[in-house]
Chain A
């Protein structure tokens, strides 16, 4: 029964992909759904995209390892999104400028060269960022289904990815929005069910005992994790996450794609205000499951010891696997199918949006400016090819890369490569008249310094220079460098004719 529910859901995605294709008339329809999204649809696609299986997995992992302390991320992000929604900071002007991608703004404000280089950095960062989505998804499927055969697992994940490729290639943003809506409803229902089941399984006393009896981690400002399950948090990491999450809330390309697909700037602003609830839930609820997982294992010391032994001896089991293993034990049959369908929906709704977003950037902001004028038909074709190429890269990357830090740490670091350059370039471009293309280029290229915060690079830096840096320091250094480079570059090399903020200017190609 569980698997028949999942199969029904997957079949419906194929039908929607075929059906949505008839609503794609031109490039704008394909990339930003003709900029016709109303509030509810935009909210569904925003939540569906940003509430991915990978989010559920890494937040549950944090909840398992750092218990209540990890909730600070949820409040940080919800607060940032709410402030953006209430003030319209950045998002209002971006939507008002009628662009289809962030790099398109780079050209309007700075130059074509900034657009192409900014787009290349964005794609490198984005593809690296989503490189581990497949692996996280496969760990969920393994743990919740008990599937041990590695080849079968790879085939299942490849099949899921091909399904996403199928409907995304066909219907572009129209399919993505419609499937996101269904996925939002399924995964939203699934999340609520899981939360209730977890609460009933552990009980109020069980959650309280984490702090009173099981040395649970509660205060994120304390850099010592009393549970002994991984490192603590502390002030420096909170500052790092404030910078990364605040930047991502404004300018993460998949969120920005929803902003730019809205019917108007006012709708885009309202979208952010309402999305603050979804952003709170996307982190808080999986953390709650992770905390429940910790309580479950902590109440059964032998089981906990067996799990930790399995993590050490079996490379396919990590701390990420704890939450789905726990769910497989406490969620009853029937409901488990709905939950699995919900999580697969989360997996697919994130992949489709990410694939379309990066492919659109490759076409609009790299291929077209370099190749010269291209027709709308050619652009749609190049975008479709790019979707397949990125899909193939994901398969390869997801199969061989080993995560050397926690999953969220990896995502924060890879996101920094793009965000650290984009923040000064876009915010400076919108609100500071003296921002110049030299400053923008320096900031964007400065973001590449963020690659040094990836696990193997940190090890090499520490070995070579006999220092003890970590990803947190290097991320903050990267953001600081990019901002300084932007300001210094703009002041030392101003543009000959400085363009003012281009809010409300004419529609672009």
Chain B
């Protein structure tokens, strides 16, 4: 069981390592769009919210 859990963890590690770069770039692009919107409407950041 210990060996199986170690091997399964290796698979997860490989799953993340191969493919995470594209996901990271997509996520950062989404966040950059958020930042651009915040810069364009900076007054929103200073409006009090409930």
Known: A185-B16, A280-B5. A36 touches B27 (CB 8 A): yes
Beta-carbon contact of A188 and B13 below 8 Å: yes
Beta-carbon contact of A22 and B35 below 8 Å: yes
Give chain B residues whose Cβ lies under 8 Å from the Cβ of A184. Answer: 13, 16
Beta-carbon contact of A376 and B19 below 8 Å: no
Give 1 or 0 for each of B10-50: 1 = CB within 8 Å of chain A CB.
11110111011001101110111011111100001111111
List 19 interface pairs A-B (beta carbons < 8 Å), by A numbering: A23-B32, A24-B35, A25-B31, A33-B31, A36-B27, A38-B23, A41-B23, A75-B1, A174-B31, A181-B16, A184-B16, A189-B13, A274-B12, A280-B9, A281-B9, A284-B1, A288-B6, A373-B48, A374-B48
**Distance, CA A185 to CA B19, complexed state (A):** 13
Known: A23-B31, A34-B34, A38-B23. A285 touches B9 (CB 8 A): yes
Q: Which of B8, B17, B26, B35 contacts A29 (CB 8 A)?
A: B35
Among residues of A, the one whose C-beta sits closest to the C-beta of B42 is A377
Known: A40-B20, A375-B49. A26 touches B9 (CB 8 A): no
In chain A, residues 272-303, which have Cβ atoms closer than 8 Å to a Cβ of chain B? Answer: 274, 277-278, 280-281, 284-285, 288
Additional 18 contacts, C-beta under 8 A, given A39-B23, A41-B27, A281-B12: A22-B35, A24-B35, A25-B35, A28-B34, A29-B31, A34-B31, A36-B31, A40-B15, A41-B20, A43-B12, A71-B2, A178-B24, A192-B13, A278-B12, A285-B6, A375-B46, A375-B49, A509-B50
Taking the nearest CB of chain B, how far is it from the CB of A207, in angstroms?
Answer: 9
**Distance, CA A359 to CA B27, complexed state (A):** 24
Give chain B residues whose Cβ lies under 8 Å from the Cβ of A74. Answer: 5
Among residues of B, the one whose C-beta sits closest to the C-beta of A26 is B38
Q: What is the interface of chain A mostly: helix, strand, loop, or mixed?
A: helix
Give chain B residues whose Cβ lies under 8 Å from the Cβ of A37. Answer: 27
Q: Which of A24, A29, A43 contacts B16 (CB 8 A)?
A: A43
Give chain B residues whose Cβ lies under 8 Å from the Cβ of A509. Answer: 49-50
**Distance, CA A29 to CA B2, complexed state (A):** 39
Instruction: Tally inter-chain residue pairs, CB-CB below 8 A.
Output: 122
**Distance, CA A509 to CA B49, complexed state (A):** 7
**Distance, CA A281 to CA B8, complexed state (A):** 8
**Distance, CA A91 to CA B1, complexed state (A):** 28
Q: What is the interface of chain B mostly: helix, strand, loop, or mixed?
A: helix
Count how many chain A residues have C-beta atoms less than 8 Å from C-beta atoms of the other chain: 48
Taking the nearest CB of chain B, how far is it from the CB of A423, in angstroms?
Answer: 27
Give chain A residues whose Cβ lies under 8 Å from the Cβ of B39. Answer: 25
Counting contact residues on chain B (CB < 8 A from A), the size range is: 35 or more
Beta-carbon contact of B23 and A25 below 8 Å: no
Beta-carbon contact of B27 and A38 below 8 Å: yes
Give chain A residues whose Cβ lies under 8 Å from the Cβ of B36. Answer: 25
Q: Which of B13, B26, B32, B49 contacts A376 (CB 8 A)?
A: B49
In chain A, residues 352-402, which have Cβ atoms closer than 8 Å to a Cβ of chain B? Answer: 372-377
Q: Which of B2, B13, B19, B30 contacts A36 (CB 8 A)?
A: B30
Among residues of A, the one whose C-beta sits closest to the C-beta of B28 is A23
Among residues of B, the one whose C-beta sits closest to the C-beta of A280 is B5
Beta-carbon contact of B9 and A192 below 8 Å: yes
Taking the nearest CB of chain B, how far is it from the CB of A368, in angstroms?
Answer: 8
**Distance, CA A188 to CA B47, complexed state (A):** 43
**Distance, CA A191 to CA B26, complexed state (A):** 29
Taking the nearest CB of chain A, how far is it from the CB of B44, in angstroms?
Answer: 7
Beta-carbon contact of B8 and A277 below 8 Å: yes
A448 adjacent to chain B (CB < 8 Å) = no
A472 adjacent to chain B (CB < 8 Å) = no
Beta-carbon contact of B34 and A25 below 8 Å: yes
